[in-house]
Structure 1
Amino acid sequence: MNWNYPFGSTEYFFIFFFVFVYTTYIIRTIRVARQLKTTARTIIIKLFLRSITLGLLIISLLGPSFGEAERQISAKGKDIYLVVDLSRSMDAADVNPSRLEKVKFELNHFIQNQRANKIGIIIFSNDAFVQVPLTYDAAALELFIQSLQTDLLPTSGTNICGAVELAYTKLMSTTDPTSRSKMIITFTDGENGNDCSRSLYNNLRRFGVGNYIVAVGTPNGISIRNQGKPLLDENGNIVVSKLGTGFLKSFAGNTKGNYYELNNAKNDINKLIGDVTNADGTLIDSRTVTVASNKYYYFLGAALILLLLDVLITIGTFRL
């Protein structure tokens, strides 16, 4: 039998307390019995019963383990590119505190739940760039996520197709492109999105690249602030940024992907995490380990039964 916890001060305290209290009880009982000119031998039965109960409780505290069992543990990994829209419209505040700030918060939440996967980051507006190549380094990813700003890129726009095309190219450029499961997760408001080429749709479906679209914003939209004032177009009209729901749903449907929403009223990030976690991954490690489980409840159950018997059984210690 193995023990999960060492015999320590807690167990010594309970034993000392039990011995002290029961010694006081026995001395008092014997003294009363002598005054009444009778015996108190029957208290030995209670002492025996309660000593066993104390022993069982201490054993359960120590966490006894026995009965070894073998368990197969497998680790499955995926290659994931996070594609983040850094166009000016991502500064819109129809999602608190802004679309981009909300995305950054949820990206960190996502990464914390994907420790077994390699993750990279691609940023885009009109053009797309790899900010972080595929890595297991969650700390580095979180550091780069905090640095995301809409002024990182020289031009503004929303070329989703080019960004996803770059992510697909990077995923398939490995030595063995079919060796690991591959996913692309795009965070964008989809504004002014244009339909992508059929070859991109076909390639994503053909090679089983998971396509996950996270739509950030609201259909009603909001004006974009520029130095504290509403941003104006070339005609002097206030620019209102609206979520491109139709295009994003169509993009997800054409690639047999999944569509999610992220705004003040709806947050599908936990659903996204669940879908990515439950998606089939590629086996990267498998081993058999020996597990010894804590069987404290057997001894605790026996102690509770003895306590019940102790309450139900009445023993006279002296005659009146």
Structure 2
Amino acid sequence: MEFANSGYLLLLLLLIPYLLWYFFRGKGKEPTMRMSDTFAYQHAPKSWKVKLIHLPMALRCTVYALVVIVLARPQTYNAWDNKDTEGIDIMLTMDISASMLTEDVFPNRMEVAKEVASEFISSRPSDNIGLTIFAGEAFTQCPMTLDHAALLNLLHNVRTDLVTNGLMQDGTAIGLGLANSVSRLKDSKAKSKVVILLTDGSNNVGSISPMTAATIAKKFGIRVYTIGLGRETGEDIGAIDYKTLQDIAVLTNGEFYRAQSQAELSKIYQDIDKLEKTKMNIKSYDHLHDAYMPFAWLALLLFCFELILRWTVFRRLP
């Protein structure tokens, strides 16, 4: 057992002056009564009240000590927890090229993709999930983690500003984005390894082709779900390379989807969520198990007991 606020334990030292005051108060000032002979009282039995005269004081000290322990927040290391988890490692691979600012879905493709991905992450609390972003180049925005609060924060901060401000090459390097995610998953020991690749274009830059990256993914047993996002109208017709996205999914035993609205994209993520279910039992160890409640209840019980004794058995007349 350890204490989260161990400094409060120093308050126990206040018991020392209290006990000294209690036992030495009034020494030499006891009331006396003159008697001719005390022989009759020398062997007189003491009543149980006399024997327990210090009980209220002992109870008060015990209650005080218990309250101090509660304030110090005792914690134990013996809290084991069994929970069922999916046991899946997932890399979200998101296109952030300038075309993702297209407003054919409200408010634009980028914001819709981020919002739906956030909902997906929140629905999978037991999975390791990471994020790769790509335009003309690719990098890992967040490695796989169970800290989904941190992941969601990093996802929220994803902007196409990296491209528009010249900090990242524009273009659509689907092969590089997929290869980056595969490199994060290849050494994973999870029962299921998944990449969810979302883009609104076709591969037009990068040293690795999409099919080469897909072949590597297949070698490491990684399934790739591909999503083509956006409506094709006018000059945009043919912008999304559906065939390549479909070939990637087929090669890796994944699925290919088309999304032209936020509702369709949400439905796709829900379908993927249902497909990727691999139950396993994890025995986890809780290192921060608070154990102050027994002390708190015992302090309350003894406090009530001391009050009852003080106002009944050990009540003092004025």
User: Which of the five TM-score ranges fits, normalised by the shorter chain?
Assistant: 0.5 to 0.7
Q: Is the Cα–Cα contact under 8 Å of residues 175 and 211 in structure 2 kept in the other structure?
A: no
> Tell me, what secondary structure is at the counterpart of 1:96?
coil
Change (3 A) 1:198 1:191: closer
**What is the CA distance between 1:202 and its match in structure 2?**
3.0
> Tell me, what secondary structure is at the counterpart of 2:87?
strand
Change (3 A) 1:241 1:90: farther
> Tell me, what secondary structure is at the counterpart of 1:267?
helix
Q: Structure 1, residues 268-299: CA drift from partner, whole Å, max 9, x if none?
A: 43343333343253625169xxxxxxxxxxxx
> Tell me, what secondary structure is at the counterpart of 1:83?
strand
Among 186, 209, 220, the alignment partner of 1:207 is 220
Which amino acid is 2:161 matched to?
A: D
1:168 matches 2:179: no
Superposition pairs of residues 36-185 of structure 1, within 5 angstroms = 74-153=84-163, 154-173=168-187, 177-185=188-196
Select the structure with the greater relative contact order (CA < 8 A; seq sep ≥ 6): 1
**What is the CA distance between 1:102 and its match in structure 2?**
0.7
Q: Is the Cα–Cα contact under 8 Å of residues 176 and 213 in structure 2 kept in the other structure?
A: no
| Matched positions, count | 197
Q: Is the Cα–Cα contact under 8 Å of residues 116 and 266 in structure 2 kept in the other structure?
A: yes
- Cα RMSD, aligned residues only: 2.8
Which amino acid is 2:156 matched to?
A: Q
Which amino acid is 2:90 matched to?
A: I
**What is the CA distance between 1:196 and its match in structure 2?**
2.9
TM-score for both structures, normalised by structure 2: 0.55
Superposition pairs of residues 280-291 of structure 1, within 5 angstroms = 280-281=277-278, 283-285=280-282
In the other structure, the counterpart of 1:190 is: 201
Which amino acid is 2:219 matched to?
A: R
Q: Structure 1, residues 195-254: CA drift from partner, whole Å, max 9, x if none?
A: 93655333322332120112111122678xxxxxxxxxxxxxxxx893332332233223
Q: Which runs of 5+ in 2 are unaligned?
A: 1-81, 285-318
Among 249, 253, 273, the alignment partner of 1:252 is 249
1:267 matches 2:264: yes
Change (3 A) 1:189 1:197: closer
User: 2:108, 2:84 → 1: CA distance?
Assistant: 40
> Tell me, what secondary structure is at the counterpart of 1:183?
strand
User: 1:94, 1:110 → 2: CA distance?
Assistant: 22
> Tell me, what secondary structure is at the counterpart of 1:120?
strand
Q: Percent identity?
A: 27
Q: Is the Cα–Cα contact under 8 Å of residues 175 and 212 in structure 2 kept in the other structure?
A: no
**What is the CA distance between 1:193 and its match in structure 2?**
4.9
Q: Is the Cα–Cα contact under 8 Å of residues 203 and 209 in structure 2 kept in the other structure?
A: no
User: 1:197, 1:120 → 2: CA distance?
Assistant: 20
Give 1 or 2 for the bigger CA radius of gyration: 2
Q: Is the Cα–Cα contact under 8 Å of residues 221 and 241 in structure 1 kept in the other structure?
A: no
Change (3 A) 1:169 1:271: same
**What is the CA distance between 1:185 and its match in structure 2?**
0.7
**What is the CA distance between 1:139 and its match in structure 2?**
1.4
Q: Which runs of 5+ in 1 are unaligned?
A: 1-71, 224-239, 288-320
Which amino acid is 1:168 matched to?
A: V
**What is the CA distance between 1:178 and its match in structure 2?**
3.4
Change (3 A) 1:148 1:210: same
Which amino acid is 1:147 matched to?
A: N
Which amino acid is 1:220 matched to?
A: T
Which amino acid is 1:250 matched to?
A: D
In the other structure, the counterpart of 2:70 is: none
User: 1:142, 1:216 → 2: CA distance?
Assistant: 21
> Tell me, what secondary structure is at the counterpart of 1:157?
coil
> Tell me, what secondary structure is at the counterpart of 1:211?
strand
In the other structure, the counterpart of 1:21 is: none
Among 229, 232, 255, the alignment partner of 1:216 is 229
User: 1:105, 1:146 → 2: CA distance?
Assistant: 8
Q: Structure 1, residues 142-194: CA drift from partner, whole Å, max 9, x if none?
A: 21122111122421010011111111111124xxx334421111111133458
TM-score for both structures, normalised by structure 1: 0.55
